[in-house]
Amino acid sequence: MNRLSSYIGNSVLAAILIVLLLVVGLDIVTAIIDQLGDLRGAYTFSQSLIYIGLTIPGRIHEYIPLAALVGCLLAMGMLASSSEITVMRASGVSLSRLVWMASKPVLWLIILSALISEYVSPYTDQWAKSHKDYLVWGSDRSLVSGGGLWHREGDTFMHFNVVQPGGVLYGVTTFEFNPKGELQTATFANRASYQPDGWLMEGASRSEFNVTSMSSSEFTTLDWGTRLTPKLLGYLSLTAEELSPTGLYDYASYLDKQELDSGAYRLAFWQKCLHPFAVLSLVLIALSFVFGPLRSSTMGYRVFVGVVVGIAFQFAQNLLGPSSLIYGFQPLYAVLLPIVVCALTGSILLYRAR
């Protein structure tokens, strides 16, 4: 039985890895083409390859569900087409046992995906973005409208051209307003760094506005009072989909304290937390297809069905997620619904195939 379990597990794992390699490879080719439009200044083609290479862990995490779905369809479908599944069933191996044997390698991939999402891709994505922004936008301009990040803290609006790990900012702009919405102070700095006692701006200029006049001052260094920390800036520099689950929770809590909208980050948090169950539900429906309606289908048809199901699953999540933010129902339900539908469909088909 151990040899049989190893044989099925290795077949499924090999198929998933091949599909993952193909899908991620196509995505990388597309990314290289997209980066050609950003080549300027110090950001050369070789630098764009470094940028894309650093984003590979995040791409792997993104495509593991689709690879698991199509890989299980291919591996178990080939065993079914060659009548090996029939022989196993005739030898007394139950359907539930076969499902477990095929699911074991997927569990290892889920653990790998969770580790990438928490400890690898957020840091590689942040380094890739900060390095690219520094090369593209440079550090000697105070405000670049075509790039950078905006942030609000109370009545103060901030823009950063480049956010680098460790608490280093380039091209810092802040606008401070009074409660009436009138601009009070505008500050520009070439660089800001996080010190033990707070932030320090370098090469700064400040303009103060009142009803009748404006005054300007230049500073070699200037203390900057803000509640931002390098950790929070690391969250700010990434999209919600690129943050780790703990990062999403921390940053959503920070936004709530600032009375800002944290809905997108709450939604991404639940998507990250339920990602393992999404993978398992897709694997379950893939196995139910193999033991049921797709047992004698061709490999091309199985791939087609797997891609369609994967796209439909992703479309459902992309549709329900933003809908929860618009109509005000819990993001948890929006993420959970497609998973439950896939799991129930797979369970029903497997029950009928017993």
Question: pLDDT by residue (tens digit) across 12-63?
Answer: 999 999 999 999 999 999 999 999 988 988 899 999 999 999 999 999 999 9
Sign of CA dihedral 101, 106, 107, 112: positive
pTM of the model: 0.88
- The larger pLDDT score, comparing residue 3 to residue 125, is at 125
In angstroms, the CA 178 to CA 104 distance is 59
Task: Report whether pLDDT(138) > 80.
Answer: no
pLDDT at 137 over 80: no
Q: Is residue 89 part of a domain?
A: yes
pLDDT digits over 89-101, tens only?
A: 888 888 889 999 9
In this predicted structure, what is the pLDDT of residue 246?
94
* Residue 274 resides in a domain: yes
Residues in a beta bridge with 14: none
Confidence at 275, pLDDT banded by 50, 70, 90: very high
Residue 145 predicted with pLDDT over 60: no
* Range(s) of the domain holding residue 84: 2-136+263-352
Which of 301, 297, 302, 293 has its CA nearest to residue 350? 293
pLDDT at residue 324 is higher than 70: yes
> Is the pLDDT confidence value at 180 over 80?
yes
Is 176 among the domain residues?
no
Give the position of tokens 């497609």.
Answer: 338
Residue 237 domain-assigned?
A: no
| Tokens at 201, concatenated | 């701006």
Q: What average pLDDT does this structure show over 335-354?
A: 90
Closest CA to 280 of 339, 353, 334: 339
Is 233 inside any structural domain? no
User: Sign of dihedral through CA atoms 219, 221, 223, 224?
Assistant: positive
Predicted local confidence at residue 242, as pLDDT: 92
In a domain, 256, yes or no: no
The proportion of the chain whose per-residue pLDDT surpasses 90, expressed as a percent, equals 56
User: What was the pLDDT predicted at 214?
Assistant: 87
Least confident of 9-18, 132-141, 147-156: 132-141
Instruction: Answer with the residue of higher pLDDT: 166 or 207.
Output: 207
The pLDDT of residue 278 is: 95
pLDDT in tens, 251-265: 999 889 888 889 999
Could you tell me the pLDDT band of residue 1, with boundaries at 50, 70 and 90? low
Answer whether residue 319 is part of any domain: yes
Domain total in the chain: 1
The pLDDT score that the predictor gives to residue 227 is 85
Average pLDDT of the chain is: 89
Using the predicted structure, report yes or no on whether residue 166 has a pLDDT greater than 80: yes
What is the model's pLDDT at position 248?
A: 94
**pLDDT tier, 304 (very low <50, low <70, confident <90, very high otherwise):** confident
**pLDDT digits over 104-123, tens only?**
999 999 999 999 999 999 99
What was the pLDDT predicted at 140?
53
What pLDDT, on the 0 to 100 scale, is given for residue 9? 93
Residue 143 has pLDDT above 80, yes or no: no
Calculate mean pLDDT across residues 182-210.
Answer: 91
Residue 152 located in a structural domain: no
